[in-house]
Amino acid sequence: MVNKRTVMGVIPRPQAEGSPLILRAILPRFARQDDGQRQCYKMFWVSIFLGTCFLVCGPINGWAAGEMITWEDCLKEVRQHNFELLAARAGLDQVKATKAMTRSSALPQISSSISADRGKTEGKAKTESYSYGVSGRQLLFDGFKTSNDLAAADENVKVAAYNYEVVSSDVRLELWTSFIKLLSAQEALKVTDDILLRRRQNLDLVTLQYKGGQQHKGSLLTAEANVAQAELDRKEADRNILLYQIRLAKALGRTTIMPIVAQGDLFVGDIDPNMPDWEKLVETTPLLKELTAKKEAARLGVKSARSDFFPQIYADAGAGKSDSSWLPETGNWSAGLSLTFPLFQGGQKTAALSKAKASFTQVDAQEKNGRSGVLMILAETWTLWQNSVDQVAVQEKFLEASRQRADIVEAQYKSGLATFNDWTIIEDDLVSKQKAILQAKTNALIAEASWRQAKGETVDE
């Protein structure tokens, strides 16, 4: 979660935990120590103070000084710059242009002409002729081929529109996943800072006890290894922020990389436990609508292929003037009907009809398979989302229990009532639970996005 201090460009640092317990456990014994042991205790508290000051007042991380961006900002930017969305829009525009071309064949075809000729026949004088005119042709009947082609073009426009929605929902999922993972990486940095501070405090305490002869070498090495692991986790958190900044920039459609700070929090809301109406929900998904439109377009394609076996009837008309000199003055006009009926084309029309039927069979099978596939995806993503949200609640309880146990055993260890092994096991468990709750929240939010993507939610919603 990015709080107010993070928004202002400063990463909040975790405060030292357990200091009052340390004071209560150690200070009563401080007066009874010799000079050497007192010096060790002084070094211990100086190191705690300097370490805390460094963490609280240390330099601002590079990522925290980057561009602040909210989820709403991401949606606005991705609509204009994402390359997948731009390509899908261009595909839709192409199909609309194809539909306009198909419609044009049903409209009157009008053309004009002008000509000038000069010739000579052997033994005769040269001749000249000039003419100009306008002619038109109107399709009257073609076995309903044009109307079927136009209806199929309408379905293809729907296919392209639904495909745009499918692409948009995929882009939304990728964008949300990148945004949430960047948020999670930023939160992980604060968690690792907290863990690192706690591990260093533990190491200082074990070092102090080791020098006082109260702990053996193995305990010291274990505490040092825990610090090394915490430092490694801190480095990995820094690297992950850079990685997810690049991933978010790509999802937004940016061609240049610059520091980005995701603004928001990893809030996991309540879920509706009621089972959705699967059959009704399936019918509203863009993917199934796309497959259904493809099936209808293929069905109309079969009808169009059958129409090729019918004759074509046109109405023709024309008017113009011609003469042997310019400007022509002798007028002429014509009007009539024409009928064409190809008798043999080498089996081309029969093959075209067979191809259209096979195409319909293919998309019909794809539509039926897609329906069951969409239903399965909806059920899987809904179940995963429900389980992930429930897991967050469980992990929060585990984390609270681990914190309580860690505080209690830490006080017991400092007072000599718990062994190092008991203490370090519970400390390791606390670290594990801190990481687990962060991962659980991230998984739940991504699972919710997958459920929304399965339903077909787009970047425009």
- Measured CA to CA in angstroms, residue 263 lies from 108, 171, 364, 458 at distances of 59, 20, 46, 21
Euclidean distance between CA atoms 179 and 403, whole angstroms? 29
Question: What is the mean predicted confidence (pLDDT) over 249-253?
Answer: 93
Q: Which residue has better confidence, 155 or 50?
A: 155
Residue 370 confidence (pLDDT): 93
Euclidean distance between CA atoms 356 and 368, whole angstroms? 18
Question: 260-262 and 126-141 as β-strands: parallel, antiparallel, unpaired?
Answer: unpaired
Residue 65 confidence (pLDDT): 58
pLDDT band at 302 (very low <50, low <70, confident <90, very high): very high
In the chain, pLDDT over 90 holds for what percent of residues? Answer: 61
Residue 105 confidence (pLDDT): 85
* DSSP symbol at 215: S
Residue 182 confidence (pLDDT): 95
Residue 14 confidence (pLDDT): 37
Q: How confident is the prediction for the chain on average, in pLDDT?
A: 84
> Among 220, 221, 202, which Cα is nearest to 211's?
220
Q: What angle do CA 165, 170, 174 make, to 5 degrees?
A: 145
Q: 86 pLDDT exceeds 90?
A: yes
Question: 330-340 and 109-120 as β-strands: parallel, antiparallel, unpaired?
Answer: unpaired
Question: What is the mean predicted confidence (pLDDT) over 373-394?
Answer: 95
Euclidean distance between CA atoms 266 and 251, whole angstroms? 20
Question: What is the mean predicted confidence (pLDDT) over 84-89?
Answer: 94
Residue 11 confidence (pLDDT): 32
Residue 136 confidence (pLDDT): 93
Residue 21 confidence (pLDDT): 36
Residue 432 confidence (pLDDT): 92
Q: 39 pLDDT exceeds 80?
A: no
Q: Which residue has better confidence, 56 or 88?
A: 88
Kindly report the pTM of this predicted structure.
Answer: 0.74
Residue 49 confidence (pLDDT): 44
Euclidean distance between CA atoms 250 and 256, whole angstroms? 9
Question: What is the mean predicted confidence (pLDDT) over 89-106?
Answer: 92
Euclidean distance between CA atoms 274 and 263, whole angstroms? 32
Question: What is the mean predicted confidence (pLDDT) over 51-75?
Answer: 63
Residue type for position 124 = K
Domains of the chain: 4-455 (1.20.1600.10)
Question: What is the mean predicted confidence (pLDDT) over 222-241?
Answer: 93
Residue 64 confidence (pLDDT): 53
Question: What is the mean predicted confidence (pLDDT) over 419-430?
Answer: 88
Coil, strand, or helix at residue 267? coil
- Any idea which residue has 């687990």 for tokens? 436
